Amino acid sequence: MRDAIRARSVSAAAFCRELREAALPDDVDVVVCPPYVSLAVAVQLLAGTEIAVAAQNVHWEGEGPYTGEISVEMLLELGVYGAIVGHSERRQHFGETDHTAAHRARAALAAGMFVIACVGETEEERETGQTDQVLRRQLSAFEADDNLVLAYEPVWAIGTGKTATPEVAQEAHLFIKSVLDVPVLYGGSVKPDNAAVLLSQPDVDGALVGGSSLDLESFIAICRAGANIPS
């Protein structure tokens, strides 16, 4: 998996139309993760392409008193390929825990869906030397699976403009893989001007792109940066 995109634009339909016609590299896997309200149109517009569509979250129960939640079955009915779980913004703003993230992942994986599970430390945790401890705790919630990909997203680099140095990213990815042997994406202010050096690190398997994914030219540039990295 060389790249993943988290599309959040209200003009998701226009984005998907343009992305469908874009000259994307053949050796880059692209996953679009729009808001729930745009999932159906994204699936429709990207049908017949190699571009997959995933949700930004998923609930672990198939039915019950969970107003506002979206189940695995609902996503499968739409033709959605997979889901993100445990994103730092879900943890920070909506009470997501290691326990609930694990429930979401298990439900989606059991149904044959693809899962991008996010882990990462806060700035305070990094500064106090707790990075490995935090990552190990978060990773203990997940089990290796052919359909599981992890995303290392240092919280201090999400929406802040800060980016982990290639060395910091590589160190974290190497540690994560020593705990759980699955592909690991890097997420944290990935841009066209830093994508190549980040993706060239031996244990960085792709990118979870946030803000830069909202501009099509920017996103394509990141895809091309990934395509130019030797396997």
For the chain, percent helix, then strand, then coil, each to nearest 5? 45, 15, 45
Helix axes 166-179, 131-139, angle to 10 degrees: 40
Catalytic residue flag (residue 61): no
> Kind and range of the H or E element at 185?
strand 184-186
d(CA 139, CA 135): 6
Active-site hit among 59, 87, 121, 173: 87
Q: Which residues of 194-203 are buried (b: 16+ CB within 10 A; e: fewer)?
A: bbbebbebeb
Q: Is 125 assigned a catalytic role?
A: no
Which residue among the candidates 59, 96, 153, 173 is catalytic per the annotation?
A: 153
Please identify every residue annotated as catalytic. 87, 153
